[in-house]
Amino acid sequence: DVSHNVLLYLEDITVSFDGFKAINNLNMYINDGELRCIIGPNGAGKTTMMDIITGKTQPDSGSAWFGQTINLLEMDEPAIAQAGIGRKFQKPTVFEELSVWENLELAMAGNRNVWSILNARLNSEQSAMLLETIELIGLQANTQMLAGRLSHGQKQWLEIGMLLMQKPRLLLVDEPVAGMTHQEMDRTAELLISLAGRHSVVVVEHDMDFVRNLAGKDRTVTVLHQGSVLSEGTMSKVQQDPKVVEVYLGE
């Protein structure tokens, strides 16, 4: 039974590459404002699933809806981004030669002309949003610092901030803590948890300590395996699921 506040619907999705089903009859629902962790062994289909949501890959069959009215399978990548789905890839891609503030300014402007943006004055609403985001990502002390001089963790947070400037309803985050210190991981969990409610957030992650931290006692974790949902529920529930234990022991 599908709840009335579902934001993302993936139904009966199948994707084949040369006859191999990377996604095999996948059904998944993400609620509005939810923070969802997706785990699963290598090759489970996590990346392909994100590619379908963002329009990078077209499925062979199934449906994908964003809200009640937006059919994702009829849209290309830019239109899907425009509709409010932001994606953060594993590696940070910030403009190293620009300051933290300028990176956020550019992100706010989207793909308009770079120099006209940097020379334009922000209105008060825009400045307020920028300041709020800088605080959220914890870079208040680094506003004028060149992004290239930030730590790896800080670059990841800046990029999350840049995605937020586009006011996405859904944020897809791919392995955000790879290469981070424990302290940076904890800070990243806090940041992502603080985004939930205002945004829906889907996090694909391998680091189980981090997933445990993100999911807490109550949030839903989805385990993908061979292109479909193997198990779904709280972290303690999926960890005790014999099907999940078998798959992870077999890795």
Q: Give the one residue of 37, 39, 46, 187 binding ligand ADP; rule: CB under 6 A.
A: 46
Please say which residue, 56 or 219, places its beta carbon nearer to ligand ADP: 56
Which residues make Cβ contacts (< 8 Å) with residue 170, sequence separation at least 6? 7, 8, 30, 53, 66, 84, 85, 86, 199, 200, 201, 202
Rounded to whole angstroms, how far apart are CA atoms 122 and 130? Answer: 9
Question: Does the protein bind ligand ADP through residue 48 (CB under 6 A)?
Answer: yes
Note whether 163 binds ligand ADP by CB under 6 A: no
Q: Does residue number 133 form part of the binding site for ligand ADP (CB under 6 A)?
A: no
Contact 100, 124 (CB under 8 A): no
2, 43, 63, 77: residue in contact with ligand ADP (rule CB under 6 A): 43
Angle 187-177-76 from CA coordinates, rounded to 5°: 110
134/244 with CB nearer ligand ADP: 244
Are 49 and 10 contacting, i.e. CB atoms less than 8 angstroms apart? yes
Does 45 participate in binding ligand ADP (rule CB under 6 A)? yes
Please, which residue, 70 or 178, has the CB nearer to ligand ADP?
178
Rounded distance, CA 95 to CA 174, Å?
A: 19
d(CA 223, CA 225): 7
Of 30 and 107, which CB lies nearer to ligand ADP in the complex structure? 30
State which residue, 105 or 232, has the beta carbon closest to ligand ADP. 232
Which pair of structure tokens corresponds to residue 51?
């590619």
Nearer of residues 43 and 110 to ligand ADP, judged by Cβ: 43
The CB-of-7 to ligand ADP minimum distance in angstroms stands at: 22
Question: Does 44 engage in binding with ligand ADP (CB under 6 A)?
Answer: yes
Residue 42 binds to ligand ADP (criterion: CB under 6 A): yes
Q: Kindly state the tokens that stand for 95.
A: 């403009």
Is residue 54 a contact residue for ligand ADP (CB under 6 A)? no
55 binds ligand ADP (CB under 6 A): no
Q: How far is CA 173 from CA 133, 159, 160, 178, in A?
A: 17, 11, 9, 12
Min dist CB 33 to ligand ADP, Å, is: 25
43/179 with CB nearer ligand ADP = 43
Contact with ligand ADP (CB under 6 A) among 2, 12, 17, 82: 17
User: How many other β-carbons are positioned within 10 Å of the β-carbon of residue 192?
Assistant: 23
Side-chain half-sphere CA neighbours of 185 within 13 A: 17
Query: Which spans of this chain sit near ligand ADP (rule: CB under 6 A)?
Result: 17, 22, 40, 42-48
